[in-house]
Amino acid sequence: MIGGLHRGSVWVADFEPPIGRRPVVVLTRDAAIPVLTNVTVALITRSAVGSPAEVPLGAAEGLRQDCVANCDNIHTVAVRQLVSRVGELGPERLQRLAGAIRIALDV
pLDDT digits (tens, 9 = 90+) for 9-65: 999 999 988 889 999 999 999 999 999 999 999 999 999 999 999 999 999 999 999
Question: What pLDDT, on the 0 to 100 scale, is given for residue 1?
Answer: 54
- How many whole angstroms separate alpha carbon 25 and alpha carbon 77? 11
Question: What pLDDT, on the 0 to 100 scale, is given for residue 85?
Answer: 97
Residue pair 69/25 in contact (Cβ under 8 Å)? The answer is yes
- How many whole angstroms separate alpha carbon 55 and alpha carbon 23? 14
* Residue-wise DSSP of 4-52: T--TTEEEEEEPPTTT-EEEEEE-S-TTTGGG-SEEEEEEEES-----T
In the chain, domain spans: 9-105
The CATH number of 9-105 is 2.30.30.110
- How many whole angstroms separate alpha carbon 19 and alpha carbon 65? 19
